[in-house]
Amino acid sequence: MSMLFTPYQLGPLALSNRIAIAPMCQYSADEGHATDWHMIHLGQLALSGAALLIIEATAVTPEGRISPDDLGLWSDAHLASLQPVIAAIRRHSPIKVAIQLAHAGRKASSASPWLGGANIAPDEPRGWQTVAPSSVAHAEGETVPLALDADGLQRIRQGFVDAAVRSQELGLDAIELHGAHGYLLHQFLSPLSNRRADEYGGSLENRMRFPLEVFAAVRAALPSSMSLGMRISATDWVDGGWEIEQSVRFARELEKLGCHFIHVSSGGVSPAQKIPVGAGYQIAFAERIKRETSMPTIGVGLITEPQQAEHILQSGQADMVALARAMLYNPRWPWHAAAELGAQVDAPPQYWRSQPHQHKHLFGDTKLGQR
């Protein structure tokens, strides 16, 4: 039996297989509100046969958006704009739906990728003043962020809590806090971006403090029946930056707080990073964390082939795999993987007649009459 298509449990969340769709920014919201694009985009992915769909990085405060076009969940109006999308998915798919809650910190106020992705200065149209652990710009020539004071930290911490409560009200199945890719929680962790001299900077214990406080506050605001995890960058790929040994210690602290899963990525905090990109290039980090903690791990990083995903699971490198670009390129990737690995996958009855004759049991024992 293919391990990729066996059930799995992320804390209280039961999943039908071990394929997740990673959160992918769409830069298509209207002042943080979901649009028709989200209905189309998330709707097609919900029919993919994956077990878990994670909605893109969703800002918990207005200044926490990466771009002016990012999705947000800092008000009840933003909740209302997502409700029709979630309702449509629930009507037509058994997929479980999570959301990634985020704050971009010093990497906020940037143009959408197809507009160049450059930092937008506070005095330019659609730009704003960014905030961060320290007044250190992400790159030369970019906006220098304001260092967060105690009130700012409390406001952002509460923003995560409020967005998590709204996520529960939406009826979502899980929440992933974004502690990766150089965004705010990662900025606190990395000594490259955190130059504070107070209790939130300096030692590893201090640098972990704010991300752990955010996690603990969100965990306390949610029922135990809701799965809560975190995405991390396991290394900065820069000498003197955050690295895998610190990630293991951070994962152990998260585990003590009741973290249900850890989604292991890397990089993003510094333009000086040197990443050896290749097939499965981040999986070794997931394997290390899986080996040294008891938390379920989700592995990512140029996973494109069914046999590759199967090998990752069979060899114990991760408990689940998450696909991003490969899923955009082929939104039926789980169907094709199931066919190749001799497994079955969920599909809507409207599509049952699409299964090839040689894979006639791909969607189960479907018996369709012709008219």
The tokens describing 13, both together, are 């969340």
The angle subtended at Cα 322 by Cα 319 and Cα 326, nearest 5°, is: 145
Report the alpha-carbon distance of residue 34 to residue 73 in Å, rounded. 10
The tokens describing 277, both together, are 């990109």
8 an active-site residue?
A: no
Report the alpha-carbon distance of residue 94 to residue 171 in Å, rounded. 13
Report the alpha-carbon distance of residue 137 to residue 132 in Å, rounded. 9
Measure Cα distances from 14 to 10, 17, 98, 99 in Å.
Answer: 7, 9, 13, 16
Residue 364: count other Cβ atoms within 10 Å of its Cβ: 11
Of 76, 71, 62, nearest to 26 by C-alpha is: 71
DSSP 57: E
CA–centroid distance for 32 within its chain: 17
In the three-class reduction of DSSP (H, G, I as helix; E, B as strand; rest coil), residue 63 is classed as: helix
Report the alpha-carbon distance of residue 133 to residue 250 in Å, rounded. 18
Is 108 within 8 Å of 65 (Cβ atoms)? yes
Q: Which of 27, 183, 329, 351 is catalytic?
A: 183
Estimate the share of the chain in helix, then strand, then coil, as percent rounded to the nearest 5.
Answer: 35, 15, 45
The tokens describing 16, both together, are 């039908």
By annotation, the residues acting in catalysis are 183
